[in-house]
Amino acid sequence: MYNLKKRILVSGGAGFIGSHLCERLLKDGHEVICMDNFFTGDKSNIVHLLQNPYFELVRHDVTEPFLAEVDEIYNLACPASPVHYQYNPIKTIKTSVMGAINMLGLAKRVNARILQASTSEVYGDPQVHPQRESYWGNVNPVGIRSCYDEGKRCAETLFMDYHRQHHIAIKIVRIFNTYGPRMHPQDGRVVSNFIMQALQNKDITIYGEGNQTRSFQYVDDLVEGMIRMMATETSFIGPLNIGNPNEFTILQLAEQVILQTGSQSKIKFLPLPQDDPQQRKPDIEFAKKNLGWNPTVQLEEGLSKTIAYFKTCL
Ligand code: NAD
Ligand code: UDP
């Protein structure tokens, strides 16, 4: 059944992760509708797919209802970088919450399977390490990251309630820091910032002392995990962590980027933003067991592919 050609909607499909997902779904022989309002996404991310007759691009805002006859929906529409999601926080929370309602309503109407791109941010500044799916998190509901964190938490609640109340076939994945080609060079995230700064021999901006940690996942591993999750049996819904458990301090990341770019950049320490999580690392036992999945691209290899991409953005 799963190998049949499907009609698949990807909201946020012109963004960094969405564009890789659209590409992979087409490669797997499916028909793809990419829906995006181009807030942080860009046509250049999917321009190479436009000649494919099985690819359709729709400019649409997920906060408005959307109708299409589809078999599966991947709901990715939402700005993901702190700089972008804090630019218009009210719009960010509307995108997560109203977007989830609209996409779930569509799934209900056309009886589609739907996967939510949730986030490790639902764990907030975690007091349990590494983070397992059973952990409820430590989230500030009134801080500058809340529009994103609480929006994504509310979206998870909506997914669960549509599942319990209307028996919608849902899947929830919690994505940990993901990087790779087609990240927006100015989106302010740490991997894109450090590589762009290093390539231009500008100061590398570390917020705080650089001892906070993150675990970086290459985008191809994430896409593989999302596709495997969508294909699991209906009763398996998650939430499920998808990330690479190799943990680095931000200072280690800066040093690695300088090494791999051969840059003359110096490190500059700037103030730590409010509510910046001190540590983050996924427990991926649940994904290994249920998806037979494991990340395969480690930081050095992933960074070299990403550096090659950012060289084309200069
Ligand atoms: P991105 O900003 O590149 O992609 C988001 C896409 O959604 C963009 O194309 C943007 O234009 C679109 N979008 C935003 N608001 C919209 C709206 N109202 N209507 C329609 N489209 C809209 O970010 P990304 O890194 O590709 O993230 C994709 C998804 O994965 C997001 O939901 C994000 O929360 C989630 N996620 C990403 C990461 C990561 O590390 N990259 C981690 C956790 C979760
Ligand atoms: N960071 C940094 N310098 C930058 C951008 C980010 O030191 O130029 C830090 C940021 O404070 C955080 C980590 O890198 O501790 C990851 O930030 P990012 O915005 O990529 O994602 P987050 O995981 O915080 O959502």
pLDDT per residue over 193-206, tens digit each? Answer: 999 999 999 999 99
- Where does 7-183+219-245+279-296 sit in CATH, by number? 3.40.50.720
pLDDT band at 4 (very low <50, low <70, confident <90, very high): confident
Please tell me the number of the ligand nearest to residue 213's CA: 2
Each residue of 98-129: pLDDT tens digit? 999 999 999 999 999 999 999 999 999 999 99
3-class state of residue 58 by DSSP: strand
Q: Which residues are catalytic?
A: 148
pLDDT at residue 140 above 50?
A: yes
pLDDT at residue 2 above 90?
A: no
Each residue of 41-91: pLDDT tens digit? 999 999 999 999 999 999 999 999 999 999 999 999 999 999 999 999 999
Each residue of 205-257: pLDDT tens digit? 999 999 999 999 999 999 999 999 999 999 999 999 999 999 999 999 999 99
Give the mean model confidence (pLDDT) for residues 15-35: 98
What residue ranges do the domains of the chain occupy?
Answer: 7-183+219-245+279-296
Q: Is the CB of 214 under 6 A from ligand 2?
A: yes
Please name the residue whose Cα sits nearest to atom 5 of ligand 2. 190
Helix (H) or strand (E) holding 173: strand 170-175
Type of residue found at 47: V
Please name the residue whose Cα sits nearest to atom 21 of ligand 2. 189
pLDDT at residue 123, as a whole number: 98
What percent of the chain is predicted at pLDDT more than 90? 99
- Burial group, residue 198, by CB count within 10 angstroms (0-12, 13-18, 19+): buried
CB contact set of 100 (below 8 Å; sequence gap of 6+): 75, 116, 154, 155, 158, 159
Q: For the chain, what is the mean pLDDT?
A: 97
pTM of the predicted protein model: 0.98
Type of residue found at 88: N
pLDDT at residue 94, as a whole number: 98
Each residue of 261-281: pLDDT tens digit? 999 999 999 999 999 999 999
**φ, ψ for residue 27 (rounded to 5)?**
-60, -35
Determine the residue of 207, 209, 252 to mutate for testing ligand 2's pocket, defined as the one with the most ligand atoms within 8 A of the Cβ atom: 207
Q: Which has the closest alpha carbon to 36: 58, 52, 51, 19?
A: 58
pLDDT at residue 3 above 90?
A: no
What percent of the chain is predicted at pLDDT more than 70? 99
Q: Is the CB of 75 under 6 A from ligand 1?
A: no
Q: Is the CB of 38 under 6 A from ligand 1?
A: yes
Please name the residue whose Cα sits nearest to atom 41 of ligand 1. 178
pLDDT at residue 298, as a whole number: 97
pLDDT at residue 1 above 80?
A: no
Per-residue burial over 83-106, b if 16 or more Cβ lie within 10 Å, else e, is ebbbeeeebbbbbbbbbbbbbbbb
